[in-house]
Amino acid sequence: MQAMRSVLPGTKAEPSQSLVEGDIRLLGGLGGRLFRLLAAIDSSGSINQAAKDVGLTYKGAWEMIERANNLSPKILVSTAIGGRTGGGTRLTPAGKNFLQLFVQIQEEHAHFLEQINQRLENDQEILFLFKRLIMKASARNQFFGKVSDVAIGTVNVTVVVGLKGGENIVATITKESAESLGIKIGSDVIALVKAPQVIVVTDFGGYRISARNQLKGTVSRIQKGAVNSEIAIELAGGDSLTATVTNESIDTLSLSEGCSATAVFKAGSVILGVAS
């Protein structure tokens, strides 16, 4: 649905930040633009001026009016040329009634949206879900979790983020960043990791590595490109993590859908975000 634009007389203003928005569209393709045109004609008495007010060409405005007149049981707009009343374009009584009906529908629609948004704003879990869905970021990996531990060092802060499936992601950020974001135990955060920063390991060969994040899972998808491939690894808890590796690495690691693999990335590669 698109954002509602309340521009007709007597309508309510749209909330500045609505989680649910929508336009009113009547059958036959009659939408808000026609009614804005009718309101402008009613106000100005000139179809030329009304067309300018709603961003239509003169021809486009007439085509819209002619179609509405043809579809309506009664003429909605009439045009008088000269005479005692001075000519001009006017709404007929049927047109005025039609416009007023739409204004009333729009008011009820705005009230309905307001009630829905109030209900959503009172549900913190739903509100947080909407906010994180709205966020746009280039990082392919976006995990939503809760801070389970915060260790403050001299310069940096180590933050442990618990995912819904029980896995943890460790992030290292500056003390300044932790303070500006208000990071603390229990905070809801989003952890972002770019796909090229994720290393895929199938066999550690008896070695241990220093990277703090080592998330084991199952390869669920391999999307091959001309040079690189995109690997999706599904974690035990249900989250998925994407890595970008070369096509040569696919063959070297014998990667295939269904095989076990571990996604490895440094704590410094994790970006944390909080809802504003």
Give the 3-state secondary structure of 107-136: HHHHHHHHHHHHHHHCCHHHHHHHHHHHCC
What's this model's pTM, rounded to 2 decimal places? Answer: 0.54
Domain with CATH 1.10.10.10 in the chain: 25-122
Does the domain spanning 25-122 belong to CATH 3.40.630.70? no
pLDDT, mean of residues 122-142 = 60
Span 218-232, mean pLDDT?
91
pLDDT higher than threshold 90 for residue 201: yes
- For residues 198 and 12, the model is more confident at 198
256-273 pLDDT per residue, tens: 999 999 999 999 999 998
CB contact at 8 A, 253 and 246: no
Question: Quick one: DSSP state of residue 155?
Answer: S
In whole angstroms, give the CA distance from residue 162 to residue 101: 53
Residue 185 is classified by DSSP as T
Q: What is the CATH number of domain 130-273?
A: 2.40.50.100
Q: Residue 26 has which token pair?
A: 């009547």
Please state, in angstroms and rounded to a whole number, the distance separating the CA atoms of residues 235 and 238: 5
Residue type, 183: I
Query: Where along the chain do the CATH 2.40.50.100 domains lie?
Result: 130-273
Q: Is the dihedral of CA 43, 44, 48, 52 positive or negative?
A: negative
d(CA 76, CA 73): 9
Has residue 30 got a pLDDT over 80? no
